[in-house]
Amino acid sequence: MEENKFLLIGDKFPDMTVQTTHGMRNIPGDYAGKWLVLFSHPADFTPVCTTEFIAFATRKDQFDALNTELLGLSIDQIFSHIKWDEWIEQNMKVQIPFPIVADHDGSVAGRIGMVHPGKGTQTVRATFIIDPKGYARLILYYPQEIGRNMDEIIRAIKALQISDLKSVAVPANWPNNEILGDRLIVPPAKTVLDAKARLQDKTIECYDWWFCHKENK
């Protein structure tokens, strides 16, 4: 296994070629122009991981609508992935529509920080959201014993996309923020003149010049 390193938010995802259940893939090259959720699971044929794969699979249409691809990974052989994929379809009646990386030697996981020494030699539940230009935009880590919330991953992708499109920030619990609802936060002014002008701008509302928001439209 390669030395464990940590990919950070804003880093360009390193180019790598991986073996998957759908054939060879180049990351991030094969996903250029799309968003990618690359997520690791501790091991095939484990209960929490099985529930996660079903949760991802049943939301495939939602990810498709966001121009987002899914790519799983664990330190298992390709044969194990294939058999587990078949087992889920036969026993749980859910087809896994996305590829799974067979990182049998841990070289991929070690290269980007999916293995945390304090949690053993298996991958933790790492989730990387990679943008269409190949940059890591959001990173989540869960321990092996706790499954992820897939709806939060979808929410995060929506928030990143709207932030990029409209040059805004997104409040807590968006689109159901306690005080702003689905409104979007306007970045703070950076000059005295901008701060004064902001308070006169009829297209936005402000609690103060540094806390302004606008409709999501």
Q: Which of 104, 97, 99, 95 is nearest to 123 (CA)?
A: 104
Residues 102, 190 within the same domain: no
Q: Residue 1: CB partners within 8 Å, gap ≥ 6?
A: 75, 105, 106, 107, 109, 110, 115, 121
Does any domain span residue 55?
A: yes
Model confidence at 2: pLDDT above 80 = no
Q: Does 160 reside within a domain?
A: no
Q: Are 190 and 179 in contact (CB under 8 A)?
A: no
71 phi/psi in degrees, rounded to 5: -150, 115
Per-residue pLDDT of 128-147, as tens digits, reads: 999 999 999 999 999 999 99
Same domain, 142 and 96: yes
Asked if 92 and 189 sit in the same domain, the reply is no
Question: What is the domain range of residue 70?
Answer: 16-147
Query: Does residue 90 surpass a pLDDT of 90?
Result: yes
Distance, in Å, from the CA atom of 156 to the CA atom of 62, rounded to the nearest integer, reads 13
Confidence of residue 74 (pLDDT cuts 50, 70, 90): very high
CATH code, domain carrying 193: 3.30.1020.10
* Assigned domain for 136 exists: yes
Please name the residue ranges forming H helices in 30-175.
47-58, 60-65, 78-92, 107-112, 150-166
pLDDT band for position 4 (cuts 50, 70, 90): low
* Phi, psi angles (nearest 5°) of residue 81: -60, -45
Is 3's pLDDT higher than 80?
no
Domain assignment present for residue 37? The answer is: yes
Q: Are residues 113 and 209 in the same domain?
A: no
- What is the predicted pLDDT for the residue at 128? 98
Starting at the earlier edge strand, list the strands of the sheet with 205-208: 184-186, 211-214, 205-208
Do 71 and 177 share a domain, yes or no? no
Among residues 147, 178, 193, which one ends one of the domains? 147
* Spatial CA neighbour of 39 closest among 69, 3, 82, 84: 69
pLDDT at 1 over 70: no
Q: Does 6 map to a domain?
A: no
| Distant-in-sequence, close-in-space partners of 199: CB < 8 Å, separation ≥ 6 | 206, 209
Amino acid identity of residue 3, one-letter, is E
Q: Are 77 and 177 found together in one domain?
A: no
For residue 167, pLDDT over 90 is answered with: yes
Strands 100-102 and 23-27: unpaired
199 in the same domain as 100: no
* CATH number of the domain where residue 74 is located: 3.40.30.10
| 83 within some domain | yes
Residues 23-37 pLDDT 10s: 999 999 999 999 999
Q: Are residues 131 and 181 in the same domain?
A: no
Total tally of structural domains belonging to the chain? 2
Question: Structure tokens of 96?
Answer: 């896994």
Whether 80 is covered by a domain: the verdict is yes
One domain, residues 63 and 129: yes
Catalytic residues: 49
Residue 136 shares a structural domain with residue 30:
yes
Q: φ, ψ for residue 62 (rounded to 5)?
A: -65, -40
pLDDT attached to residue 47: 97
Asked if 120 and 193 sit in the same domain, the reply is no
Residues 24 and 114 grouped into a single domain = yes
What are the tokens at 118? 């304090």
